[in-house]
Amino acid sequence: MTKIKICGLYRPCDIEYVNAARPDWCGFIINFPKSHRDLTPDRVRALRAGLAPGITPVGVFVNSPVEDVAALLNDGTIAVAQLHGHEDDSYMAALRALAPGCTIWKAFKVRDPADLAAANASAADMVLLDNGYGTGQSFDWSLAQGVTRPYILAGGLTPENIPGAISQLRPYGLDISSGVETDKMKDFDKIKAAVAAARKE
């Protein structure tokens, strides 16, 4: 069954929504002021405290100091580090040294087959294929045929197109944020519909 992540939680009610809908993962955008969903580590800890068991918390980072990411992994605030900047294999090696046993996801903007080569070669535990980080638009899904490893699909997903994405691509997981929002705020009905669509196989 395809797994699903609801990303960009930033309000207490967002935690209530995912606790009810039960996605596999939920995501917090940390120390990235360009996003309206940005959170400080302390705010993430406060929200994380209310998260139901069985939903894995993921921290989303863009070029954050490796020590900051490691600290959140080591204290249990997050269980997965999702990297969206210029973090390379040496950065991931440093993160693993500071947070032994950690799980690392690396996002790749998909524009042409060369992007898939980089994803295939990445040292990350899981790669995420995206259009452009928070654009709400999908990339040319036909390019994903060049991926030779399990991956998480992101960018432009909605409850309506999730079934088609699963049948066409068979991704390991889905990452959805703006597709379950109304007026830039998480919408409980859309979250429920997205999780149900991912699990209707």
CATH classification of the domain holding 36: 3.20.20.70
65-122: pLDDT as tens digits: 999 999 999 999 999 999 999 999 999 999 999 999 999 999 999 988 888 999 999 9
Are the C-beta atoms of 53 and 22 separated by less than 8 Å? no
And the tokens for 171?
A: 């991704």
Q: What total of structural domains would you count in the chain?
A: 1
Q: Which domain holds residue 138?
A: 3-198
Evaluated on CA atoms 22, 192, 37, 171, the torsion sign reads positive
Host H or E run for residue 3: strand 3-6
pLDDT of residue 143: 84
pLDDT one-digit tens code per residue, 116-153: 999 999 999 999 999 875 556 788 888 888 899 999 99
